[in-house]
Structure 1
Amino acid sequence: MSVLKIALLGFGTVGEGVYRSIESHGERLEKILGKRVEIVAILVRNKQKQRKISGNILVTDNFEEIINLPHIDYMIEAIVGREPAFTYLKRAVEKGSNIITANKEMFAYHGEELSLLAADKGVSLGYEATVGGGIPIIQTLRQLLKVNNIKKIKGILNGTSNFILTEMREKKEPFASVLKTAQEKGYAEADPGNDVEGTDAFYKLMVLSKLAFGFQPEWKDVHVEGITSITREWIEEADLLHLKFKHIASVEWKDGKVIASVQPVLVGKSSPFYDVEGVENAVSIEADLVGSITLRGPGAGMFPTASAVIEDLAQSRHQTDREAGSPIRDSVDQDSQKEASYWLLDRVKKKVADPSIEWLQQHPNNKWIIKSSVKGLNRILDQNPGTEAFPVLAEMIEKESSDLFTASL
């Protein structure tokens, strides 16, 4: 039987997970692909470090040794950061290798260029593992794109932030204490900035935007806010209103423009994100034919992410996003100043009269639910120093207005 030769770039959490998964699921892959899958080379940072790797595999810290091998069917990349990952994959494609990546930052920046190059060279490109860990969001969108027009994508895309918000609510501990727990459990890095400040979720959202809408919004126009400002007291007060803070990434095609954001949002019991706890991820897709569907599952970890890589390998088809029918729309500037949204205001001292503001319901301790444009909201905040404003999912207001408006502190 013929052999499918693979080079693995990176042997951290994801890379090792891919290696172990191919070891454990080799026979199943062989039945699916009709070929025996064999890892022939692994790129590591320090080849002196002891690892449980088969002795017949080339283990090297020099990419040139791998790219110069006579034949590689698939190059699987699991390196952190834009470079040298992009350069490695570009060279692999130019040599005729199929590629699979788990690198969301690199792919958010360079995914389009790699996709076009892969299409030109007639090789396949897999990137399921860049978003959502073990959730098959990329393949789902690829299937929906064949007929459906995607209207909106929202999701909890970072398991670390979701874990922190869950622990702060359930254990009533402050952010700093829960972050330390997340680091001890391996959910957060020593430098957790990308997770808790929203950068990781932003990269993933840009990958989804390109696939769903054919382009990314201007990065500078996307509002990105992390969870570091969320206090234990705010979480407890939201809980009394039957609400939970969730870190939501959202991208939407509406009225000829793309609107994207990453920010803490208040959700109610009718939201598909309400019960998504711990390190889980969830993605909700709204399309014109299928309506709304939600995918939910483990968002991080060695084997969930490795699973996404292995599924890309099992697909083994020469398909690019351009061939899959990804819609192409003209990018336009975002202007959400006039669009009304729902907000929970805390510590409001003075109501502001403005036709763009609807004061819907007052709660104890100077809290209000309002519907307002961003311009109107800014007027309130200007006239009420110290007032905090949190976005509330519109779907929740529409479905749970009676419960929310009768909630009492």
Structure 2
Amino acid sequence: MATIKAAILGFGTVGQGIYHILNEKRQELREKLGVELEVTKILVTDASRERVPGTHHLMTESIDEVLAEKGLQVVFEAIVNEEPAFSYLKQAVAHKCHVITANKVMFAKRGAELEALAKANGVFVGYEASVAGGVPIIKTMKNILLVNDVSRVQGILNGTTNYILTKMRAEGWSFDDALKEAQSLGYAEADPFNDVSGQDAFKKLMILSSLAFDEQPNWSDVEVIGIEKITAAQVAEATEKGLRYRHVAEVEKRANGEIHAKVSPLLVDKEHPLYPVDDVFNAVAMETNYIGTLSITGPGAGMYPTASVMVEDYAEIIGKRAGFTVTI
């Protein structure tokens, strides 16, 4: 049986999740894919600290050492910022490695460039985990776009803000109290700016725009409004009227061909597809010409939701290379 060697770049929450799933699903992946997967390198910033028992011998602080691994075929990237993630993946692609990323910041800005490089080198890029965590919106949209045109995409693309708004409505909490609870549960970072300001959702929206319309609007033209100024009184008033606040990221292609996008709080009623989506769940609603409006919902973050879709990307890539379809 052939062995596929893989590396994991970044070994925080998501990177560890990838490692655990690959080990736990090893036998099942072997049976479905007909190959043996072996994680041979893990790139970290401090190789002296073992995060997961039994992985110390796999850890390195050098990307050159990772790429020098003989027979390396797949690279999972779970680094936070644009750099050095893009430079590492660019090098991996040049080494004829398939790459799978969860990096929304990098992919929103450099995704088209990375995919072009991958195509030139005969390898694939998986980026399902860069948008909405465990919600398989990328695969779904790719399939829909084979026949349908998408005219508008609306989504709850950040679980932290959705959790805060849910608690403000269901518990009557203030924004500050809901944020503190989200931080204590690990849903929000110590510095929650990217979440509550809408910047996180904005980056994910730009990835969806590229996929749906083959282009993004000028970033400076996109209005991005956070949820910090929403008060408990406003939420209570909306609830009395049968409405709910959702932090919605939206992009549409208008009749004149212009791509328009916005991220902002939105009041929705019971008829809106995003109305029932609570807590840390994400959801995306797509308006299409043949199917109509299609909605998909699921967990938006966390170790296993994000890591699992990265492993699914791996399975899909290996299935393509082998000429068969894999379902997990």
Shorter-chain TM-score: which interval? over 0.9
User: Per the alignment, in what secondary structure is the counterpart of residue 181 of structure 1?
Assistant: helix
Q: With structure 1 as the length reference, what TM-score do the two structures score?
A: 0.76
Pairing 1:241-320 to 2, within 5 Å after superposition: 241-255=241-255, 256-316=257-317
User: Per the alignment, in what secondary structure is the counterpart of residue 186 of structure 1?
Assistant: coil
Pairing 1:351-366 to 2, within 5 Å after superposition: none
Q: What do the CA deviations read for 1:345-387 (whole angstroms, capped 9, x no partner)?
A: xxxxxxxxxxxxxxxxxxxxxxxxxxxxxxxxxxxxxxxxxxx
In the alignment, which residue of structure 2 is the partner of 1:186? Answer: 186
1:316, distance to aligned residue in structure 2 (A): 1.3
User: Per the alignment, in what secondary structure is the counterpart of residue 91 of structure 2?
Assistant: helix
Letter in 2 for 1:281: N
The yes-or-no answer on 1:130 pairing with 2:161 is no
Letter in 2 for 1:138: I
The yes-or-no answer on 1:108 pairing with 2:85 is no
1:56, distance to aligned residue in structure 2 (A): 7.8
Q: What do the CA deviations read for 1:171-199 (whole angstroms, capped 9, x no partner)?
A: 11111111111100000000000000000
1:254, distance to aligned residue in structure 2 (A): 1.3
1:95, distance to aligned residue in structure 2 (A): 1.0
User: Per the alignment, in what secondary structure is the counterpart of residue 83 of structure 2?
Assistant: coil
For the 8 Å contact 2:33–2:319, the answer to whether it is kept is: no
For the 8 Å contact 2:4–2:71, the answer to whether it is kept is: no
Q: What do the CA deviations read for 1:228-286 (whole angstroms, capped 9, x no partner)?
A: 01111100111111101000000111111111110000001111111111000000011
For the 8 Å contact 1:18–1:306, the answer to whether it is kept is: yes
Change (3 A) 1:161 1:299: same
The yes-or-no answer on 1:87 pairing with 2:87 is yes
1:307, distance to aligned residue in structure 2 (A): 1.1
In the alignment, which residue of structure 1 is the partner of 2:226? Answer: 226
| Aligned equivalents of 1:49, 1:142: Cα separation in 2 | 40
Q: What do the CA deviations read for 1:54-103 (whole angstroms, capped 9, x no partner)?
A: 35852012212111222211011000000000000000001110100000
Query: What do you get for the CA RMSD once the two structures are aligned?
Result: 1.2
| Aligned equivalents of 2:307, 2:44: Cα separation in 1 | 17
Gaps spanning 5+ residues in structure 1: where? Answer: 320-409
The yes-or-no answer on 1:140 pairing with 2:130 is no
| Aligned equivalents of 2:110, 2:318: Cα separation in 1 | 21
User: Per the alignment, in what secondary structure is the counterpart of residue 316 of structure 1?
Assistant: helix
User: Per the alignment, in what secondary structure is the counterpart of residue 113 of structure 2?
Assistant: helix
1:317, distance to aligned residue in structure 2 (A): 5.4
| Aligned equivalents of 1:199, 1:152: Cα separation in 2 | 20
For the 8 Å contact 1:224–1:262, the answer to whether it is kept is: yes
For the 8 Å contact 2:281–2:298, the answer to whether it is kept is: yes
In the alignment, which residue of structure 2 is the partner of 1:64? Answer: 64
Structure with greater contact order relative to length (CA < 8 Å, sep ≥ 6): 2
1:309, distance to aligned residue in structure 2 (A): 0.2
Letter in 1 for 2:316: Q
Letter in 2 for 1:133: G
Q: With structure 2 as the length reference, what TM-score do the two structures score?
A: 0.95
- Segment of structure 1 superposing worse, 177-186 or 54-63: 54-63
For the 8 Å contact 2:47–2:59, the answer to whether it is kept is: yes
The yes-or-no answer on 1:160 pairing with 2:144 is no
Count of residues paired in the alignment:
319
User: Per the alignment, in what secondary structure is the counterpart of residue 250 of structure 1?
Assistant: strand
Letter in 1 for 2:96: G
For the 8 Å contact 1:123–1:318, the answer to whether it is kept is: no
For the 8 Å contact 2:16–2:52, the answer to whether it is kept is: no
| Aligned equivalents of 1:262, 1:55: Cα separation in 2 | 41
In the alignment, which residue of structure 1 is the partner of 2:6? Answer: 6
| Aligned equivalents of 1:88, 1:18: Cα separation in 2 | 18
1:45, distance to aligned residue in structure 2 (A): 1.9
The yes-or-no answer on 1:45 pairing with 2:45 is yes
Rg larger in 1 or in 2? 1
User: Per the alignment, in what secondary structure is the counterpart of residue 230 of structure 1?
Assistant: coil
In the alignment, which residue of structure 1 is the partner of 2:326? Answer: none
User: Per the alignment, in what secondary structure is the counterpart of residue 204 of structure 1?
Assistant: helix
Q: Between the two proteins, what is the percent identity of the paired residues? A: 47
Change (3 A) 1:291 1:65: same
For the 8 Å contact 1:42–1:57, the answer to whether it is kept is: no
